[in-house]
Structure formats: structure tokens, C-alpha cells
Chain A
Amino acid sequence: MADGDRFPPGTAVRTFHHDPPHHTRLPRYARGKRGVVVEPEGRAELADVSAQGRGDAPVEQVYAVRFAARDLWGEGDHHVVLDLWESYLEADEEGAAR
């Protein structure tokens, strides 16, 4: 599978309502939020697993995902882009129609 195949640029995605007891790189402010993929940002070992000192961290695609401030906090006219591992994301069918 080529880089970023699962969520090509422009894909509407949603982050999971992810609240693990361990290290993660999905900040609280961006959990369960709708965004749009900007582009793939390479592949990397999933930080959540690598942080546990295990040798078996999966290598996943990372995506730059753009969020509207209004969707993050209910206000603001700026955007925030986060680099998120693929397992933090799912396709947002409803979002695609917006």
C-alpha cells in the first residue's frame, strides 16, 4: 500500500474519543473531533506503544490533519494542524458531505 492511501489529502476524518492511561500523541483538545487530511507525513512507530519500551511498536502512516478552531472549541476563525497516527483516525462519512 502506498503512503497515505487510506486517507488521501482532502479526506474528512474524525479522531477517536481516545483516552488511554498511557502516553499518546493525540492531545485532549483534538479527541472526537472532525478534521480534513492535508497530506501524509511519513510513517513512524506508534508512539503510544514505543513509549512502553516494547520492541514491537507498529509502524503506521502519520497524517497532517487540519481542524477548524470552531470545531475544536466552538469559537475562533483560525485552524490547527496536527500530525496524527492512522490509528487515531477514522473516516468521517458525514463530514465528507459538509
Chain B
Amino acid sequence: MARINDVGGTEGFGAVDITDDAEPFHADWEARVVGLLGALRAQGIFNTNEFRDAIESMPPREYLAASYYERWFEAICTLLERKGVIKPGELDG
């Protein structure tokens, strides 16, 4: 089953934007997401492979439209719901 993240050799993505970002994060929330991932993994709530799997399982359109850390955040939310740590809709309710 083709997954949207598996892009090696796929054509059509165009030129590489070689801009060198000086900052690791473009907004504070991105750093918080990195912190969330680290904390949840350290607690054994999910592992790195489950995390990658959750990102890869995003619907292609969402995956491509989302920024890098947005993907991380969506994957974290998906896993937390799956593991019963938060209830479906509890975050946005």
C-alpha cells in the first residue's frame, strides 16, 4: 500500500528551496510539540515507530497540506486518542 511519506524517486516536487533556516522552530508551538513528543515517548505512551506510522497514515491531502510540525501534532493527537489517553473530540470540544 503506497504511503504518502514514501517519496523517494517520486517526480513532480520541483526545485529544492535551499533557504537555510536559522531558527530550529518558526513558532513557539513547534517547540512545545517537540517537547510533547519527547515526554510522551519517555513515558512509554507510544514509541517512535508508532509515531511515524501515525504520520504516514494521515490522508495524503492532509499530509501534504500540513507543515512538518503540524504532522507531528496530528500524529500525537491520533495516538493519544487511540491509546485512550484523551477521548475523541475532547481536544477540540
Contacts and interface: CB of A to CB of B under 8 A. Distances in A.
Interface of A: 19-23, 27-30, 45, 47, 50-53, 72-73
B22 interface: no
A53 B50 CA distance: 6
B54 to A, nearest CB: 9
B71 to A, nearest CB: 15
Interface residues on chain B, size class: 10 to 19
Contacts of B56: 23
A52 B56 CA distance: 13
Contacts of B49: 23, 45, 47, 50-51
B4 to A, nearest CB: 11
Interface of B: 1-3, 6, 8-9, 46-47, 49-50, 52-53, 56
Which residue among B6, B49, B56 has the maximum number of chain A CB atoms within 10 Å of its CB? B49
A56 B46 CA distance: 14
Nearest to B79: A53
Nearest to A57: B49
A29 B47 contact: no
14 contacts: A21-B1, A23-B3, A23-B49, A23-B52, A27-B6, A28-B6, A28-B8, A50-B49, A51-B47, A51-B50, A51-B52, A51-B53, A53-B50, A72-B9
Kindly name the residue among A20, A47, A72 whose own CB sees the greatest number of chain B CB atoms within 10 A: A47
A56 B3 CA distance: 24
B47 A50 contact: yes
A64 to B, nearest CB: 16
B2 A28 contact: yes
Nearest to A23: B53
